[in-house]
Structure 1
Amino acid sequence: MMFQWLNRLLTRPVNARFDVAQTTHTNKNHWLNADNMSARASISPAVRRVIRIRSRYEAENNSWYAGILRTAVNHIVGKGPRLQVLTADPEANKRLESAFCKWCKSIQFADKLRTAVEAYWRDGEVFMMRAERPRNYPMMLDLRTFETEQVASPYKGSILADPFIDDGIRFDQQTNELEFHLYDHHPGGNVPVSTLNGRWYSSREVLHLFRAERPGQTRGLPRATPSLPMLPIMRRHHSASLNLAESAANWGMYLKTTSPAIDPTQSPQDFAEIEMARNMMTILPSGWEPGVLEAKQPGPIFESFQNFTLKTFSRCTNMPFPLAAGTAQDSNFSSFKGDMRNVWRPEVLTEQDRIEVSIVEPIWTWFLEAAVFVPGLLDGLPALADIAHQWHWPPLPDLDPVDTANANTIKLASGQATPTSIHAEAGQDWETEAATGANDFGVDVATYKAAVFAKILAVTGAPAPPSGVSQQAAQPAQGEYTQLGQRAFTNNVKRIKSTLEQVASGSMSRVMAEQTLASIGLPTDRVSALIADALDGRVDDPQLQEVPQ
């Protein structure tokens, strides 16, 4: 009894468990194939081969899968990344950028990159190797692309002989790639040469693009591996529905009797075939009536089943269903924009970053090493490792250019973005675009930038009125917005009303509303008056009240 107080202080053990950790007669078959194998062991060469050839088979015979691959490649790679050199010498920068662009076109770099990325998604991985094309002297750098079968361990020897070799890739303890064993020819080729000859190449000469989903993983799996079984289901359902529809359509008509006096047929000869003439009329004997088979397939659930299966398949690719289906006819536009921005855009940016690190940057290093032998190309530039640069990838299609432009204007006016960041999102360079714009308008770059600044920051950056114009004429008429120019009013009135409604409802702050109205060109006093009216629950401007919703 004297130790009861101590027992109460001690924490009693809690018997807790997870439902998913229980094995019952209802779930044991579902978890039967679950294992505790390592990443390398679970995706052995034999396993990868089966998944890979099935993925290729479906990509070659299923239009949905082929379309998803094409769409992904077009969005991720597009026309290929654009180089921007950022050293202190503008002329040298332009010279090097021009040379790299010319080289890319000479070897069709963008097309090779698209092929590599499609193989990476479909097969799980792809390899590229440095090569030479003598006819392009003095810039003889070229690229070769290899499928995953061509990188494998030598035919002789056990795969268990070296724990730091995984199917043709030698790596260190940190799984950093050191060497690749490449066969001289594809093992599945039908050329009259030995397909088992090969050699080891340094990792500086071979590039490997794959997606590691587990620690210790050194080879890749097709992107659609989790949902690949969905594609045969779609095709079987499609074929079964078509077969039923054809069976029903092949029966022109049949006769059936309702008379109990007629005996059942005794032989196949009693089932006669009668050829009917067009628009004929006939009289049937008593007790007989015609019938037609009704085609019940494809039924009302055919399309919904196909769409649901496609959604299941495309989910592991992070591609929105309207994009995977190739049409957004049944989708809400706002939802589609949200899916593109919140699901597909991060996927594209992630893939572009992986490709840039694994493929594009090493190729850029190869290009600089080859550029050493091109007379005058690297003049005025620092050491190869110190040449600052960046890549601009083609942006995704802009679904709402007007909305994007308005959002960019607000961000610029409120200091949330800069011209450099806005142009970078569009795959452009602000300095290049400013120089082009200045040249188009026949002014210098400084004047062009000043005009853009005055347009964006109209309140604080507006230039002084030209000489000869009175201050009275330069100032807008007093009053609440009613004297705004007709053209400006027509172009901006809906945007002004929307801003005021958001302020009144509390969905937009007063500071943001002031910046938005100022970016349109309204003076400070009118901005304050309009916002005050909106917060009071009214807008005194009769023209603004008549704007349709």
Structure 2
Amino acid sequence: MTSIITRTRNAFRAFTRAFSGYDIAGGSARWPAAYALHSPVTQQLAAGRLASRKIAHQAENNALVSSIILHGVNAIVGDGPTVRAMHPNPETAAQLLHAWNSFFQDCSVEGGMSLGGYLSRAARGFYVDGESFTQLVTDPATMRLKLRLLTADQVDHSKTVPSLGLTGDMPMIVAGVEFDGTGRRVAFWVLPTPPDAPWASVEPPARISALDICHVFEPRFPGAPRGMSPLTAIAPLALELDNCIDAAVVKLRTTCLVGMVVRDPEGNFPFDPTTDPASLYLEPGATLRLPPGADVSFPPTSEMNTVAEVLSHIERLVCAGAGVPAFMATGDFGAINFSAGKLGLATFQRRIKALQQNHIVAQLLNPIWDRLVLLEVLSGRMRAPDYESNPERYGASFLFPGWPAIDELKKAKADTLAVAAKLRSRQEIISEGGRDPADVDAEIENDPFAADDLSASAGSIASQNETENENA
């Protein structure tokens, strides 16, 4: 009975492909049979860990992939974000900022690491593994927050327990992530030590509440419980690039070797002691004596005029798939002009801002801030009578380091004109640079060299044209 149903289903699919009217359905047989994601979530779970291991190897051995990850991590994190407390009471906001600054300087369980360095490790895990896990730990001695970075393998990928739909409250565990009956994440199953650590523990995974785990990942498909490295699509091409470079290097070495074949048409080879075949070699300016009747021929060597273009094209494809400008990852700044570089940076900056806000802030920094405030209140270090009634007052916004302007003067003039025309605000411009406007105003107020006529000077500078600036 099962075989009849299977044959009927296959026949129906073949009929659908043949009469669908679209080549994408496979009716023309141009498409390989395996060129399809029939079950994206299941296939991602099956390939995710193997893909991360291969990309981890490339991150340590492939120069281009290593450069892509380095620039991506530096762009996302920089030296770490600054925070702006939203509480309307200046005294309470100052207490929160003081607690955050203390936590920022030493945030990890291991000790000796600032939050900027910790976020760099988390961002690198996002690129290599497609996900990063952070456990929120409370130091029992000081009642202060500490962070423990978990490897992707520490969340037991083999831990899968289906609920089978028996009861609505029956939890379901998929790849180490536990869901309740409504589909909400409630816990993670974590191994005590990383599986690849020396003398790793053999204890089974422990259940840790989702309130204590921050999972940074990008779900590509609805219902995906785990992440997938964003470099998965370019990893095969990066491997081919390595192979092409190795082949090109071997070709260059072979071309540099001058090989010759000495032939004797008579077949006698009457070599004298001065023309011993074992002593024949070529060097610049050398003159060889050959036997009478012998001639020399050199094996043909293929041209390599187009190798550089092919390698550059592959590099651009790899960088485009990774979302990093090719000139930035390869260091080839001579191949672009100002407009192309600015356009490439604008696209890259948009991608980085999306990763910062959608994943680093939403999935990691916001839970860290909430737990930090909670510990300050529960420990009695901060008095907050409105914490339960108005929790929104205890939120925060995070400002990441700004992007340096390509042309400082043009950027300053554009910002000055935008503020004068009331198209933008000073707070917006200052926040883009990763600074708190309140800090900037306080620094200006306390600056003894700040003059009242600076705004007028800035206005006159903004009205100058390029010729005047060059002559100045």
Does TM, scored on the shorter chain, surpass 0.5? Answer: yes
Counting only pairs closer than 5 Å after superposition, residues 233-272 of structure 1 correspond to structure 2 as 233-251=240-258, 253-257=259-263, 260-262=265-267, 272=277
Letter in 2 for 1:350: A
Q: CA deviation at 1:304?
A: 1.9
Alignment partners' CA distance in 1, 2:48 and 2:136: 26
1:239-297 superposed Cα distances (whole Å, 9 cap, x missing partner): 1122223234344x53434x6434799xxxx9932155976544333333445567657
Residue identity over aligned pairs, in percent, reads 19
Q: CA deviation at 1:224?
A: 1.0
Q: CA deviation at 1:140?
A: 2.7
Alignment partners' CA distance in 2, 1:184 and 1:130: 15
Q: CA deviation at 1:236?
A: 0.8
Counting only pairs closer than 5 Å after superposition, residues 40-189 of structure 1 correspond to structure 2 as 40-44=41-45, 46-107=46-107, 108-133=114-139, 138=142, 140-152=144-156, 159-160=161-162, 164-172=172-180, 175-189=183-197
Alignment partners' CA distance in 2, 1:111 and 1:329: 32
Match of 2:320 among 293, 315, 319: 315
Alignment partners' CA distance in 1, 2:423 and 2:225: 41
Letter in 2 for 1:91: E
Q: Is the 8 A contact 1:223 1:317 kept in 2?
A: yes
Letter in 1 for 2:344: D
Q: Is the 8 A contact 2:175 2:225 kept in 1?
A: no
Q: CA deviation at 1:380?
A: 8.7
Structure 2: stretches of 5+ with no match in the other structure: 1-18, 108-113, 166-171
Alignment partners' CA distance in 2, 1:282 and 1:442: 81
Alignment partners' CA distance in 2, 1:193 and 1:126: 21
Change (3 A) 1:432 1:382: farther
Matched, 1:28 2:31: yes
Alignment partners' CA distance in 2, 1:271 and 1:51: 57
Q: Is the 8 A contact 1:127 1:206 kept in 2?
A: yes
Matched, 1:494 2:465: yes
Q: Is the 8 A contact 2:86 2:393 kept in 1?
A: no
Alignment partners' CA distance in 2, 1:427 and 1:220: 29
Q: CA RMSD in A?
A: 3.2
1:102-151 superposed Cα distances (whole Å, 9 cap, x missing partner): 211122221111101111111111111011446xx535311111111111
Task: Report the equivalent of 1:393.
Answer: 400
Letter in 2 for 1:64: L
Letter in 2 for 1:232: L
Alignment partners' CA distance in 1, 2:158 and 2:230: 27
Q: Is the 8 A contact 1:150 1:182 kept in 2?
A: yes
- Secondary structure of the residue aligned to 1:218 is coil
Matched, 1:199 2:222: no
Q: CA deviation at 1:408?
A: 0.7
Q: Which has the higher contact order (CA 8 A, sep 6+)?
A: 2
Change (3 A) 1:388 1:211: closer
Letter in 2 for 1:408: D
- Secondary structure of the residue aligned to 1:149 is coil
Task: Report the equivalent of 1:324.
Answer: 329
Alignment partners' CA distance in 2, 1:264 and 1:305: 46
Alignment partners' CA distance in 1, 2:21 and 2:286: 77
1:297-349 superposed Cα distances (whole Å, 9 cap, x missing partner): 7x2222222221122112222211112213312111211101111x1111011
- Secondary structure of the residue aligned to 1:221 is coil
Change (3 A) 1:82 1:248: same
- Secondary structure of the residue aligned to 1:165 is strand
Change (3 A) 1:247 1:89: same
Q: Is the 8 A contact 1:141 1:367 kept in 2?
A: yes
Letter in 2 for 1:247: T
Change (3 A) 1:317 1:206: same
Change (3 A) 1:264 1:52: farther
Task: Report the equivalent of 1:333.
Answer: 338
Change (3 A) 1:331 1:282: same
TM-score, normalized by length of structure 1?
A: 0.71
- Secondary structure of the residue aligned to 1:225 is coil
Q: CA deviation at 1:173?
A: 5.4
- Secondary structure of the residue aligned to 2:189 is strand
- Secondary structure of the residue aligned to 1:145 is strand
Alignment partners' CA distance in 2, 1:84 and 1:310: 40
Change (3 A) 1:333 1:153: closer
Alignment partners' CA distance in 1, 2:151 and 2:80: 21
Alignment partners' CA distance in 1, 2:294 and 2:394: 92
- Secondary structure of the residue aligned to 2:148 is strand
Q: Which has the larger radius of gyration?
A: 1
Alignment partners' CA distance in 2, 1:58 and 1:357: 29
**How many aligned positions are there?**
433
Match of 1:360 among 365, 368, 382: 365
- Secondary structure of the residue aligned to 2:319 is helix
Counting only pairs closer than 5 Å after superposition, residues 374-389 of structure 1 correspond to structure 2 as 376-378=381-383, 384-389=391-396
Alignment partners' CA distance in 1, 2:374 and 2:192: 25
Q: CA deviation at 1:217?
A: 1.4
Alignment partners' CA distance in 1, 2:76 and 2:31: 41
Q: CA deviation at 1:207?
A: 0.9
Q: CA deviation at 1:177?
A: 1.2
Change (3 A) 1:380 1:413: farther
Mean Cα deviation higher: 163-172 or 209-218: 163-172
Q: CA deviation at 1:379?
A: 6.3
Alignment partners' CA distance in 2, 1:152 and 1:271: 69
